[in-house]
Amino acid sequence: QVQLVESGGGVVQPGRSLRLSCVASGFTFSNHGMQWVRQAPGKALEWVALIWYDGSHENYADSVKGRFTISRDDSKNTLYLQMDSLRVEDTAVYHCAKDLSAGSGWSGAWGQGTLVTVSS
Amino acid sequence: EIVLTQSPATLSLSPGERATLSCRASQTVSSYLAWYQQKPGQAPRLLIYDTSNRVTDIPARFSGSGSGTDFTLTISSLEPEDFAVYYCHQRYTGYTFGPGTKVDIK
């Protein structure tokens, strides 16, 4: 079955960087667009970024544009989120998600998430 | 940015009752709207996409309707496992989520 396992979260000071990873299994990773969605403690979901199945297109929320970079390595079935210039307001659980079906654009399967805490 | 507003913020109902959740967009999202369910400590689960298409294995008691700016998620008869937070989500222009509706036990 589909599995998405995030890692790389932790406590980091404002202004520093962190890279999240999401290892995928149970489906053909290279056929699917992928996304990152975050959720601050006790708050609603917030879409962060997406990357097309072939890596040819990326899109970012305004709140992270210019600071975060989404990428993928199909040889490792892994999705990444490079987070630079972190801010306190980036504190959240970060989930990776895969398209419901190839090209659908809807996040049909999600990982449990990894917690990022930005604090001095 | 398209803003999604959900109402009510909290819906207190008993098992067996009908739940009607609303999602309103600040501008048209055509039919590009989805609904997610999230239980405490769990990842969200996609229920409905493209306004009214139910995901495989989602029970038929869940249904979605609407178009343009006004959408509804209906749970025809609440089961104990349906008490959760529900988010609407659009991908017509950018990607945004609503603030959620909590369905709790009365």
Q: What is the share, in percent, of chain B residues with pLDDT greater than 70?
A: 100
Nearest to B100 among A35, A44, A95 (CB): A44
Model confidence at A104: pLDDT above 90: no
Structure confidence by residue, pLDDT tens digits, A12-32: 999 999 999 999 999 999 999
Q: What is the share, in percent, of chain B residues with pLDDT greater than 90?
A: 100
Do A24 and A3 contact (CB within 8 A), yes or no?
Answer: yes
Do A17 and A116 contact (CB within 8 A), yes or no?
Answer: no
Region A106-118 average pLDDT? 96
Do B19 and B84 contact (CB within 8 A), yes or no?
Answer: no
- At residue B88, the pLDDT reads 98
Structure confidence by residue, pLDDT tens digits, B63-103: 999 999 999 999 999 999 999 999 999 999 999 999 999 99
Record: contact A45-B44, CB cut-off 8 A: yes
Contacts of A108 in chain B (CB under 8 A): 46, 49, 55
- At residue A42, the pLDDT reads 94
Contacts of A45 in chain B (CB under 8 A): 36, 38, 44, 87, 89, 97, 100
Closest CA to B4 of B73, B61, B62: B73
Q: How far is CA A117 from CA A13, A37, A93, B11, B16, in A?
A: 8, 15, 9, 31, 40
- Please give the Cα distance from B22 to B18 (Å, whole number): 13
Q: What is the dihedral of CA A88, A89, A94, A97, to 10 degrees?
A: -150
Both structure tokens of B27: 């501008």
Structure confidence by residue, pLDDT tens digits, A71-96: 999 999 999 999 999 999 999 999 99
- Please give the Cα distance from B62 to B52 (Å, whole number): 9
Region B14-29 average pLDDT? 98
Contacts of A111 in chain B (CB under 8 A): 43
